[in-house]
C-alpha cells in the first residue's frame, strides 16, 4: 500500500465539512471588512522567501522545501503566505491603485519540513490577512479586531489578545544592542542556535524553546523599555483604538519578531483552555514596514496576521463547539426500471439547479434498499418513481419523517417542495 508522506493528512468526512464551514465564516467576515481574496503560486523563486523570511531564520535554514526545476531555477514551496502576497503586490503594481490601502486575504496550503506534532504538520492550511499602504495604528487595530472576531464568530471565546510594540528602527536598534549586551556574558551556556542568533539576529534568541527556562531568558530586556517617544505614543494610540472596539487585551512585552523589517505593532491571540496544551497560540501578526522594499518594491507600510486551520480545529474541539454541519439532504429520488431511471436523471438535474440538495440511486438496488439509503442520508423527502405515474406526468412524494405520501405533478414539484421544505 502506498501511504501519504509524513507530516501530511487526508481531509475528508466530518473534518472536511468543518473546514468548509470555517472557510465560509472566513470569507463572510472578510467580505464585511472589505478584504479582497488573493491566491499566489504554491511555489515561488527561492529568493522570495530568503529575502522576506531571512537567511537567519529557522524557516529558511531548516524548514523550507527547496528544489531546482528542469530549467535550473531555484524554487521553494511556500512556507508562509506574506512573502508571496507582497511579491504579487509589487509585480502587479497594486501600489498604483486608486483605492488605498490594499486589503487582501489568502487561504492556502503551506509547507515546512519540521517535526510533525498535534496541530503542526509539514503540509498545513493557513489563512492570513495583509494590508499594504497604510501606516496608521487605526489599521493595526482593525487587523487585530478582524482576527479577534473570527474566533468569536466560530464560538472560540476562551481567548486572549496579547499586544506589544517593537518600535521604529531607532527603538529596535537600541533594543538589539541591549539584548547583545545582556546575552553576551552567558552565551556559552546557551544552545548552539542561540549562540549563532546572537551574531545574526539576537531577537530570535527570545523564541528559543531549548533555553526558555534559563534565568537569563527570564531577565532579558523588554522592548517597551527602549521605545522612543514617538513609538510609545503610537503604541498608546493603538490601545485607545482597541478600547473603543471593546477588545480586551494584555500588553505582553515578551512578544517579539526577529526579522529586521518588523516594527511597531506585534500581537498574538492565544487559547486559555488548559486542555489545549502549551502550543496555545492560534494566530499571530504584526507590522512589517520594511518588507516591500526588501523585495525590491517601493517604500510601503504593511501589517498582517496568519492562523493555521489545524490549530483552529483543535481549539473548536477543546472548547466543545458544535460546528453546524449539514449531514442531511433535501430529496432522494428512487426508481427501479430504465424508464424510471431516465426520469430520475431529469428530476435530479432540475431539482439541483433549483437549489435542492438531491441524491438518487446509482447501483441498481431494490426500492427497499433505496429507502434505507434515504434514511441514512437523512433525506427530508423521497420521490418514488413508477411507470404509471410518469405516464400521467406525476411523481409520488413521501415525507420521510411522517411517511405520508402525495402524488404531485412534475411541473409543480419545485413549487411543492419549496412550500413544504
* Predicted confidence (pLDDT) per residue in 233-276, tens digit: 999 999 999 999 999 999 999 888 766 678 999 999 999 987 77
pLDDT, tens only, 123-182: 999 999 999 999 999 999 999 999 999 999 999 999 999 999 999 999 988 988 988 888
- Please report the pLDDT score of residue 232 as a whole number: 96
Across 208-224, average pLDDT: 82
Element (H, E) at 376: helix 367-376
Sheet with 159-165: list strands edge to edge: 36-37, 102-111, 123-132, 302-308, 281-287, 263-271, 159-165, 249-251
Report whether pLDDT(87) > 60. yes
Residue of 290, 312, 264 lying closest to 15 (CA atoms): 312
Q: Which is it for the CA torsion 58, 62, 63, 68, positive or negative?
A: positive
Look up the pTM and report it.
0.90
> May I ask the CATH architecture of the domain 331-420?
3-Layer(aba) Sandwich (3.40)
Task: Report CA-CA distances (Å) from 344 to 331, 336, 360.
Answer: 12, 10, 7
Quick: pLDDT tens for 335-346. 999 999 999 999
Neighbours of 19 (CB within 10 A): 17
* pLDDT computed for residue 72 by the predictor: 96
Q: Where are the chain's structural domains?
A: 13-168+228-318, 331-420
- Topology given in CATH for the domain delimited by 13-168+228-318: BirA Bifunctional Protein; domain 2 (3.30.930)
Amino acid at each position: 500500500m502506498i501511504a501519504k508522506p509524513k507530516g501530511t493528512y487526508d481531509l475528508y468526512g466530518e473534518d472536511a465539512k468543518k473546514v468548509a464551514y470555517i472557510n465560509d465564516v472566513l470569507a463572510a467576515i472578510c467580505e464585511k471588512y472589505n478584504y479582497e481574496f488573493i491566491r499566489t503560486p504554491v511555489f515561488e523563486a527561492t529568493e522570495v522567501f530568503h529575502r522576506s523570511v531571512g537567511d537567519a531564520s529557522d524557516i529558511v535554514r531548516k524548514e523550507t522545501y527547496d528544489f531546482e526545476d528542469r530549467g535550473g531555477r531555484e524554487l521553494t514551496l511556500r512556507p508562509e503566505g506574506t512573502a508571496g502576497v507582497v511579491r504579487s503586490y509589487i509585480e502587479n503594481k497594486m501600489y498604483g491603485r486608486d483605492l488605498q490601502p490594499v486589503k487582501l486575504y489568502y487561504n492556502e496550503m503551506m509547507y515546512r519540513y519540521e517535526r510533525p506534532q498535534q496541530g503542526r504538520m509539514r503540509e498545513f492550511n493557513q489563512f492570513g490577512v495583509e494590508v499594504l499602504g497604510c501606516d496608521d495604528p487605526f489599521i493595526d487595530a482593525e487587523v487585530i479586531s478582524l482576527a479577534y472576531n473570527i474566533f468569536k464568530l466560530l464560538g472560540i471565546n476562551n481567548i486572549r489578545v496579547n499586544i506589544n510594540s517593537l518600535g521604529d528602527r531607532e527603538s529596535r536598534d537600541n533594543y538589539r544592542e541591549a539584548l547583545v549586551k545582556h546575552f553576551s556574558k552567558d552565551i556559552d551556556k546557551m544552545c548552539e542556535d542561540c549562540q549563532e542568533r546572537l551574531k545574526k539576529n539576537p531577537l530570535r534568541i527570545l523564541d528559543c524553546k531549548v533555553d526558555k527556562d534559563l534565568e537569563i531568558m527570564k531577565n532579558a530586556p523588554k522592548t517597551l523599555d527602549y521605545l522612543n517617544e514617538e513609538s510609545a505614543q503610537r503604541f498608546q494610540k493603538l490601545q485607545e483604538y482597541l478600547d473603543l472596539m471593546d477588545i480586551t487585551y494584555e500588553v505582553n512585552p515578551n512578544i517579539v519578531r526577529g526579522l529586521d523589517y518588523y516594527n511597531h505593532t506585534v500581537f498574538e491571540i492565544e487559547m486559555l483552555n488548559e486542555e489545549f496544551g502549551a502550543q496555545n497560540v492560534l494566530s499571530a501578526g504584526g507590522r512589517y514596514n520594511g518588507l516591500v522594499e526588501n523585495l525590491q518594491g517601493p517604500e510601503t507600510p504593511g501589517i498582517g496576521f496568519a492562523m493555521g486551520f489545524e490549530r483552529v480545529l483543535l481549539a473548536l474541539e477543546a472548547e466543545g463547539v458544535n460546528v453546524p454541519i449539514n449531514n442531511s439532504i433535501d430529496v432522494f429520488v428512487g426508481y427501479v426500471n430504465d424508464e424510471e431511471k431516465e426520469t430520475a436523471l431529469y428530476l435530479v438535474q432540475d431539482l439541483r439547479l433549483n437549489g435542492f440538495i438531491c441524491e438518487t440511486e446509482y447501483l441498481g438496488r431494490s426500492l427497499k434498499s433505496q429507502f434505507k439509503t434515504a434514511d441514512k442520508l437523512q433525506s427530508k423527502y423521497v420521490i418514488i418513481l413508477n411507470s404509471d405515474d410518469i405516464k400521467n406526468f406525476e411523481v409520488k412524494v413521501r415525507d420521510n419523517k411522517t411517511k405520508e405520501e402525495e402524488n404531485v405533478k412534475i411541473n409543480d414539484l419545485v413549487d411543492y417542495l419549496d412550500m413544504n421544505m
